[in-house]
Amino acid sequence: MATRKADSASFAAPARSATQLNLAADTTRIRKNGIEFRSETPIAAWTEMTVALRDPEDGQEVSATGVVVDCRGDRHQGYTVSMVFMELSPLAQARLSLMAYSNLA
């Protein structure tokens, strides 16, 4: 069995980019385990994102991390992005459930 030096480029760190999207309430649908929103640009599937959701009724914020599971549309009409949240705390899960079943859904 022979050994050889591994190409260091194959172990490069993944690219990271920070983009902030400000979403209007009328283009956002909150679900108990995720969110759907409209975007002018496509977002690749499996992109990890952190979102901060503010409840307009009491002003409290819920932060959640999730992954994009679907992005459909075109550059002319925009894209509908579906995202599933991961590892929510019980409190965050309860707040999202309330938001999902309120007038925000």
CATH of the domain at 66: 2.40.10.220
* Stretch 75-101: mean pLDDT: 90
In terms of Cα–Cα distance, which of 96, 1, 5 is closest to 51?
96
* Stretch 73-84: mean pLDDT: 95
Overall domain count for the chain: 1
18: pLDDT confidence band, cut at 50, 70 and 90? Answer: low
Entry pTM? 0.74
12: pLDDT confidence band, cut at 50, 70 and 90? Answer: low
The encoded tokens of residue 60 equal 């409290």
User: Backbone phi, then psi, for 6, in 5-degree steps?
Assistant: -75, 145
In terms of Cα–Cα distance, which of 36, 18, 19 is closest to 27?
36
Has residue 32 got a pLDDT over 90?
no
Mean pLDDT of the chain: 82
- Quote the domain boundaries for residue 76: 24-100
